[in-house]
Amino acid sequence: MTGQDIYGFSLFHVYFNGLKRPNLKENCLVTYNGKNAPGLDYLVQNGHTGKRFMDSGAYPASKKNTDLDIDKYISYVNEVGDHLDAIAQLDYIPHIQDGTAEQQAEKSARLTWERFLYMWDRVRPELHKKLIYIIHAEDTQTLLTRALEWRDSKGEGIQYMGLGLSTTDMAFRWAQLDTATRLFKKYNYTGNCHGFGLQVLDCIQVCPYLTTCDSSSAIRDQMTGKVFIKGKMVKISDDTAAHHKSDLSSSHKDLLEPALRARAEEMGIDYDLAKVSPAERYLWGCKERSAYIEGGYKNHRPSQSGNLFRGAKK
């Protein structure tokens, strides 16, 4: 029994604030900005039925060489937590002034753990199961072992783990997932596990303990006029801007259009609107990536034993 057996698998899409439509069903990720999480109020008030994930905003803050106030974040978490399915802790993203790579990794691991414990003691107890402890590109073996063994004063353990997997270093991703799977199995972990920045089906399929991942691709794709359909990028927009150029000839595109129109109808998308509307392309992209990733995961349940690298694409 794994967390995936209990909770299933869900892909969260970074919410595009340009999409203002009631009764959305897609799983959405919103990001705290120091005051609130833009888009969350709209989703809650307009009949959103998908799952909701809140990121802490630590990474975008670090890109501005700033940090967020943890007490303000905790206050906001306690205010909106009932509307969320997953809540990322406020982790620590190292800065260049933190020293060498080794010193940065040490500080990141230490402060992220300290901040998790600080939040655990201050968020409402009923939100504990949603609070995600995050492990970045550090010593996964040591940090995850500690997290799996940890219990609070009431004997409650961490029920949502998060792995930083947004790197393009595939060898690191395989190693991180290999270590996590081995430890989750050793400790009979049945909680949730989130893969941050992970939307590579091959990687997702090798870890039966992953229950959630997130993707910002639908936002990036719509900016280039494209949609990710059945694993391939397809240009939808008629925009002739340089960054919207298509690899298809006009005649080839004409041949594809009936199939694209049929696919859009199948996915509940207005094809003509998608050609001119970033919001409609974004929604189409969310639906397509969910179908591709979640469907692919369900169709390939790997064995929990054996070498994860066997048969995996490097």
Query: How far are the Cα atoms of 37, 133, 163, 165, 313 from residue 175, in angstroms, in the given order?
Result: 33, 19, 12, 11, 13
Whether pLDDT at 198 is above 90: no
At which residue do the structure tokens 């905790």 appear?
Answer: 74
Sign of CA dihedral 150, 154, 160, 164: negative
Q: Which CATH architecture has domain 3-215?
A: Alpha-Beta Barrel (3.20)
Q: HEC profile for 33-63?
A: CCCCCCCHHHHHHCCCCCCEEEECCHHHHHH
Whether pLDDT at 200 is above 90: no
What does the pLDDT read at residue 47?
A: 97
The predicted model scores a pTM of 0.89
For 21, the 3-state DSSP assignment is coil
For 70, the 3-state DSSP assignment is helix
What does the pLDDT read at residue 305?
A: 40
Q: CB neighbours (10 Å) of residue 235?
A: 19
139 falls in which pLDDT band (50, 70, 90)?
confident
What does the pLDDT read at residue 312?
A: 38
Residue 215 forms beta bridges with which residues? Answer: 13
Over residues 116-139, the mean pLDDT reads: 95
| pLDDT tens digits along 29-68 | 999 999 999 999 999 999 999 999 999 999 889 888 889 9
Residue 83 forms beta bridges with which residues? Answer: none
Structural domain spans, the chain: 3-215, 225-304
